Chains A and B, each alone.
Chain A
Amino acid sequence: MSRPNRRNFLKGAAATGAAALVSTPQVSLAQEAKPARASAPSAAAREAESGGSAPAVEVLTADRPGGDFMTDVLKSLGFEYVCANPGSSFRGLHESIINYGGNRNPEFITCCHEESSVAMAHGYAKIEGKPACVLAHGTVGLQHAAMALYNAYCDRAPVYMIVGNAVDAATRRPGVEWEHSVQDAAAMVRDFVKWDDLPASLEHFGESAVRAYKIAMTPPMMPVLLVADLDLQENPHPEAWPHIPKLTLARPPQGDSGGVAEVAKLLVNAENPVLIAGRVARTAAGMKALVELAETLQAPVIDQNERMNFPSRHPLNQSSSRGLVAQADVIVGLELTDFWGTVNSFRDQLHKTSRRITKPGAKLVSITTGDLYIKSNYQDFERYPEVDLAIAADAEETLPALTEAVKRLLTADRKRAFEERGAKLASAHQKALEAARVEAAYGWDASPISSARMAAELWAQINKKDWSLVSGGGGWPARLWSFDKHYQHIGGAGGAGVGYGAPASLGAALANRKYGRLSVTIQNDGDLMYAPGILWTAAHHKIPLLSVMHNNRAYHMEVMHLQRMANRHQRGVENAGIGTTLTDPNIDYAKVAQGMGVYAEGPILEAKNLGPAIQRALAVVEKGEPALIDVVTQPR
């Protein structure tokens, strides 16, 4: 099928045909570019019909633009939302979505920065389990979006991105449209999207759109990108729409039966096995499957908090036990980002050194889709882990079979040993919780407010509700709160690209909205300052989200890095705040939020004022609006 771009279409509409054009090479571009409708009679025909007396009428309108078909494709894929900052290179698709598509499924979510658009889709996907669509310019929009795409790529989250581009130079508007056009739009991000395509026809668009969705949703999940040609969006297509292929998602790969049996044998025979969870639980079933395996073995679980993998108050949750890895005889890493870093210590001193912390003879097993897909350029794959058995498979999909294999090997003796181990672990878990509470009491009334106090104050207000902590779930919440539902924690940015937290939280809150869940986030100040316009998006679309600012008035990780360098060079740390802090003036986040239409209070410096402020903000959120509390905190 030939590509029905605007230029070809206009050639056809002029009723000259390709042969005629060949025979009349003198025809000018201006003549050639007369707007017309494919279904309309030619100017010559109209003149003949009217007896040659009526003036030629320029056809200025058209039905059935390609963007309508693209909208049908998006609807067929079940998209609820498109997040976008508007851009002329996708104006055709934008107009089709809001008019032809009725702005429902998908609904247009107005973002003030493309980084926010992508991060919203990133957060949404981790709650909803499917992608949201993102639209952007193929040039300047994608440039803004790039870091957020990288975060989603590293975090193994599906994001479905469509960028507009005027491919045909002959039909580009002079001026800005040239700056906003590119030969190969996807090239800039190809290293960190899983797949991309530039469809040349509507039929091609439909097929690639469905393929892209399937690829994004096959573990390891990642962003995908389609380039929507401007002419393809805008030109009318009077012929019947092409077929939209059926979407059939690929079943995630399960570990091979031989490998699973071998892991089961190792686990059953081990005296001190440890299960370490990275991004295991893609769905609620993942957490349930990990709980069943751990309980069958009475084995400890270390949750690295990249997803909601394991209930925080389960007796087998030993995430705060640092000695377990060193004592283990079998370590099973489930979808770990950094297995090497888990079993080695590394010193960031003048001479960087590392040391294996596992005991001699300890067996290491990995189950991860990370072994199924890897790219060269960006180094998110971390240092090479030396494991004894590597199962290239999806951990969530493999866990039920592994549990069954373990059950088949159980004997009365092993069950007794497991029960004894479980009792010791339950006692250790309770001691760790009590120790965390004791530690939290230090600096309890401090000003700036301690992060432990802030976490405890927030927990007190939400723990009887159906809550979802959509960002900031590590640290004190992990130690003090009871997490037991899969949507109560969604992990972090993935690529540690700052600017993820605020928009990803809002995207997650958007997904939570229809379930009536209370979305809360612990919002870092430096992160919010990347693209604070996300607050306006929250207010405009009435997305209920309680943001409690962890405002330490700095990019604090960088403060610590500067301290390390200054000490290494014996120059003192007095200047470590230059370029790393957000003071002089202090930012009044409550005023920033209020200016965007968000209910806000702060800055709150005294711990005793925090609880009542959270209560007032919650009342706003429970009415369906966003709210923000600016809490001035200790650094960590």
Chain B
Amino acid sequence: MRLTVILLAAAIGAFAQTSNAQNGRKLFARVGCYQCHQYEAQGAAATGPRLGPRPIPFANFTKYVRQPTGQMPPYTAKVVKDAELADIYAFLQSLPEPRPAKDIPLLNQ
């Protein structure tokens, strides 16, 4: 158990050092993620769910992008490299939490 935690922490550290959220934002638009999930990854009911902030674990994220089980078109490594996926993931992690809906008057009418 302890070894798993250490390895996970190391993996997260390596991920944080190499990934680039700013580049991830650009990639998110360039490779077409925004088409279904919107520019801020907020999602749309009819096309694709919200992806961030607090995305699903990176391993699950990568697995789904490469081999989706739903309607999403598959992104192979030929189209989006592993390093690019890591940047996109970093972008999703970097997204700010929204204001609570209860504090937005327009959403309470």
- A contact set with B: CB distance below 8 Å: 320, 347-349, 434, 437-444, 446, 448, 450-453, 456-457, 459-460, 463, 474-475, 479-480, 556, 559-560, 563-564, 566-568, 570-574, 576, 634-636
Inter-chain contacts of A459 with B (CB < 8 A): 106, 109
Residues of chain B in range 64-97 having any CB-CB distance to chain A below 8 Å: 70-71, 73-76, 78-79
Q: Is B99's CB within 8 Å of the partner chain A? A: yes
Could you mark each residue 39-73 of chain B with 1 if its beta carbon is under 8 Å from any beta carbon of chain A, else 0?
11011111100100000000000000000001101
Tell me the nearest residue of chain A to B77, going by C-beta.
Answer: A570
* Known interface pairs A567-B73, A567-B79; A573-B44 also in contact (CB < 8 Å): no
Interface string of B19-34 (1 = CB under 8 A from A): 0000000000011101
Query: Are the CB atoms of A450 and B70 closer together than 8 Å?
Result: no
Q: List chain A residues, Cβ under 8 A from B76.
A: 567, 570
- A635: which of B30, B34, B101 is its contact (CB, 8 Å)? B34
- Contacts between chains A and B (CB distance < 8 A), count: 110
Tell me the smallest distance from the CB of B3 to a CB of chain A, in Å: 37
The complex places the Cα of A571 from the Cα of B31 at a distance, in Å, of 11
Residues of A within 8 A of B13 (CB): none
Contact A567 B34 (CB under 8 A): no
- Cα A451 to Cα B44 with chains together (Å): 9
Q: How far apart are the CA atoms of A448 and B76 in the complex, in Å?
A: 29
A444/B98 in contact, CB under 8 A: yes
**In the complex, A573→B40 CA distance in Å?**
19
A347 B42 Cβ-Cβ under 8 A: no
| Minimal Cβ-Cβ distance residue in A for B44 | A636
A560-B47 CB under 8 A given contacts A347-B70, A439-B42, A442-B40: yes
Shortest distance between the CB of A569 and any CB in chain B (Å): 10
A559's closest neighbor in chain B, by CB? B35
Contact A636 B99 (CB under 8 A): no
Q: Tell me, rounded to whole Å, the shortest Cβ–Cβ distance linking B2 to chain A.
A: 37
| B101-A576 in contact (CB<8A) | no
Interface pair B31/A443, CB less than 8 Å apart: no
Q: Which of A439, A574, A576 has the most CB of B within 10 A?
A: A439
Complex partner residue of B50 from A439, A479, A566, A567, CB under 8 angstroms = A439
B71:A348 contact, CB within 8 angstroms: yes
Verify B79–A570 contact, CB threshold 8 A: yes
Name A572's contact: one of B31, B35, B43, B45 (CB within 8 Å): B31
- Determine whether the beta carbon of A444 is less than 8 Å from that of B104: yes
In the complex, which residues of chain B have a beta carbon less than 8 angstroms from the beta carbon of A451?
44
* Size bracket, chain B contacts: 20 to 34
Instruction: For B108, give its contact among A349, A437, A636 (CB under 8 Å).
Output: A437
Contact A441 B35 (CB under 8 A): no
Contacts of B74 in A (CB 8 A): 349, 567-568
Distance of A459 Cα from B31 Cα, bound (Å): 34
Known: A573-B31, A636-B47. A440 touches B39 (CB 8 A): no
Q: Across the interface, do A442 and B36 meet the contact criterion of CB distance under 8 Å?
A: no
| A556, B108: Cα distance in complex, Å | 30
A324 to chain B: closest CB distance in Å?
Answer: 16
Q: Are B42 and A437 closer than 8 Å at their CB atoms?
A: no
The reply to whether A444 and B99 contact each other, CB–CB distance below 8 Å, is yes
Tell me if B106 and A564 are in contact (CB < 8 A): no
Query: Of B42, B71, B109, which is within 8 A of A450 by CB?
Result: B42
- Of the candidates A348, A442, A451, A452, the one having the most CB atoms from chain B within 10 angstroms of its own CB is A442
Residues of A within 8 A of B107 (CB): 437, 440-441, 456, 480
Q: Is the CB of A442 within 8 A of B43?
A: yes
A634 to B50 CA separation, bound complex (whole angstroms)? 14
26 contacts between A and B (CB under 8 A): A347-B70, A347-B71, A349-B71, A438-B101, A439-B42, A439-B43, A443-B38, A443-B40, A450-B40, A456-B106, A456-B107, A475-B46, A560-B35, A560-B36, A567-B73, A567-B74, A572-B31, A572-B79, A573-B32, A574-B31, A576-B32, A634-B38, A635-B35, A635-B44, A636-B36, A636-B38
Nearest chain A CB to B34's CB is how many angstroms away?
Answer: 7
Can you add 13 more A-B contacts, CB < 8 Å, to A442-B40, A563-B73, A576-B35?
A: A439-B50, A441-B104, A446-B40, A456-B106, A457-B106, A480-B107, A560-B36, A563-B32, A567-B74, A568-B73, A576-B32, A635-B35, A636-B47
Residue of chain B at shortest CB distance from A634: B38
CB distance from B96 to the nearest CB of A (A): 10
**Using Cβ atoms and an 8 Å threshold, which residues of chain A touch B36?**
560, 635-636
Q: Give the residue name and chain of the B residue nearest to A460 (CB).
A: B106
| Chain A residues, Cβ within 8 Å of B98 | 441-444
* Pairs of residues from A and B, 9 with the lowest C-beta to C-beta distance, nearest first: A443-B42, A636-B44, A442-B42, A567-B73, A443-B40, A573-B32, A441-B98, A437-B101, A456-B106
Residues of B close to A566: CB separation below 8 A: 79
**A556:B100 contact, CB within 8 angstroms:** no
Residue of B35, B79, B108, B109 with most partner-chain A CB within 10 A: B35
Q: Is the CB of B79 within 8 A of A556?
A: no
Distance of A416 Cα from B104 Cα, bound (Å): 39
Give, as a whole number of angstroms, the nearest-CB distance from B72 to chain A. Answer: 9
> B39 to A475, Cβ gap below 8 A?
no
- A636–B35 Cα distance when bound, in Å, is 8
The answer to whether A460 and B73 touch across the interface, beta carbons within 8 angstroms, is no
Residues of chain A contacted by B40 (CB below 8 angstroms)? 442-443, 446, 450, 634
Measured between beta carbons, the chain B residues less than 8 angstroms from A635 are 34-36, 38, 44, 47
Q: Which chain A residues lie closer than 8 Å to B39 at the CB level?
A: 443, 446, 448, 634
* B55 CB, nearest partner CB in chain A, Å: 13
Chain B residues near A434 (CB-CB < 8 A): 101
Q: How many angstroms between the C-alpha atoms of A453 and B40 in the bound complex?
A: 13
Is B35 touching A463 in the complex (CB atoms < 8 A)? no
A471 to B36: give the CA distance in the assembly, Å.
22
Closest Cβ–Cβ distance, residue B49 to chain A (whole Å): 9
In the assembled complex, the Cα of A446 lies from the Cα of B42 at a distance in Å of: 10
Q: Which residues in A have their C-beta under 8 angstroms from that of B102? A: 437
Q: In angstroms, how far is the closest chain A Cβ from the Cβ of B46?
A: 7
